[in-house]
Amino acid sequence: MSDYVRNLWYMAAWDHEVPDGGMLSRTLLDGKWLIARLPDGDYAMLADRCPHRFVPLSKGRLDGDVIHCPYHGLGFDRSGACVHNPFPAPPPTHVRVATMPIVHRHRGLWFWPGDPDKADPALIPDFAFVDREGMSRSRMTIHGHYELLTDNLMDLTHAEFLHVTSFGVNGSIFSGTQSVTKDGSGAIWNNWDMEAVTPPDWALPLLGDSAPIDQWLHMRWHAPACMALTVGLARTGTDRRAMVVPQMVNPHIITPETPGSSHYFYDHEATEEAAALARQVFVEEDEPMIEAAQDALAGQDFWDARPAILETDAGAIRARRRLMQLRRAEAA
């Protein structure tokens, strides 16, 4: 049974990662792919391997909407058909490069590795909130299976340990109430709601005082591992919609690179300070922990390793079960 559910939308890149009239090469679901930005503004996604001598087409040249191999000059169009042979013989039209449906939405480029006839863009999870000013959209590689990243994000209690310094949290998560729900879009929500707690350090300048607040951390998950975190803060006793600190929503979108590594797409405010905090939290704190878990499993299946299940795992486990159902359905 494949580790990857195929009939799903995955995010390949932020749109700014593909230069105008250029190509991006990226390993996705254990295969090498290129994404080309064509003159008409459309994107094309082709296997990054020439069918003649197997070299990366992305090292070649995009001329109009034809991708030319860097080795012997064969040219391929957006459909993957060989349309150009620089030598007198005609192009070998029976030769095709694999392609995948690709859609530009919410500042990301989304691909569908399954049956193209089922690739309905309406199934892309709603990340419309991503398209706002003043934000930097970034990507990093995490050396861990994508479901270990889901575990990380669907159980934010780890902030009280792994990120206790960087986030200036103060134990308020311990007193929160967890609820796991699902909604009509197929999302699973893992929600923490904290009432009448001391504000976290980072919010003090925004609040002006340390009077008790209500805080909520709501993580929304769509298969395979596309998450959105809503953080809210209101003075205790007021309506939650009357927030002193405006509610924030951030993307945490994970795409498998290989069985042991993942692309992590996130954003942060476009300031040096926010970039440094993201590096601290993701690169210095989360990455080594997830990589250590990946190494410890040493290729063993997560369930075969018989993990202890805690009540706080409820959301993460629900997401793992949903994926398992989807895998089984595709294998059947």
Q: What is the DSSP code (8-state) at residue 312? A: G
- Edge-first strand order for the sheet with 102-105 is 10-14, 108-111, 102-105
Answer yes or no whether residue 314 interacts with a copy of itself by CB under 8 A: no
**169 forms part of the interface with a copy of itself (CB under 8 A):** no
Q: Footprint of a copy of itself on residues 290-309 (CB under 8 A)?
A: 292-293, 296-297, 305-309
Strands (E), 152-284: 177-182, 188-197, 213-222, 226-235, 245-258, 261-269
Q: What are phi and psi of 303, to 5 degrees?
A: -75, -35
CA atoms within 13 A on the CB side of 309: 9
Q: Return the number of other C-beta atoms located less than 10 Å from residue 293's C-beta.
A: 17
Q: Is 72 in the site for a copy of itself (CB under 8 A)?
A: yes
**Pairing between strand 66-68 and 75-76?**
antiparallel
Piece in contact with a copy of itself (CB under 8 A), picked from 49-57, 113-121, 204-212, 319-327? 49-57
The site that binds a copy of itself (CB under 8 A) totals a number of residues, namely: 46
What does the alpha-carbon distance between residue 81 and residue 97 come to, in Å, rounded to a whole number?
7
User: What residues does 230 pair with on adjacent strands?
Assistant: 218, 249
Dig out the tokens for 209 from the structure.
Answer: 């005082």
Q: Which of 174, 185, 186, 210 binds a copy of itself (CB under 8 A)?
A: 174
Binding mask 235-274 for a copy of itself (x = CB under 8 A): ----------------------------------------
Question: Is the Cβ–Cβ distance between 200 and 217 less than 8 Å?
Answer: no
Q: Site mask, a copy of itself, residues 96-125, x = CB under 8 A?
A: ------------------------------
Q: Which stretch binds a copy of itself (CB under 8 A): 46-54, 114-122, 124-132, 198-206?
A: 46-54
- Asked whether position 53 contacts a copy of itself by CB under 8 A, the answer is yes
Of 87 and 133, which CB lies nearer to a copy of itself in the complex structure?
A: 87
Residue 267: count of CB within 10 angstroms of its CB: 21
Chain residues 4-43 in contact with a copy of itself, contact rule CB under 8 A: 32
CA–CA separation, 58 vs 35, rounded Å? 8
Angle, in degrees to the nearest 10, between helices 287-297 and 146-153: 130
Q: In this complex, which beta carbon is closest to a copy of itself, that of residue 248 or of residue 309?
A: 309
CB of 92 to a copy of itself, least distance (A): 5
Positions that interact with a copy of itself (CB under 8 A): 32, 49, 51-56, 59, 68-74, 82, 85-89, 92, 95, 148, 151, 155, 157-158, 160-162, 174, 289, 292-293, 296-297, 305-312
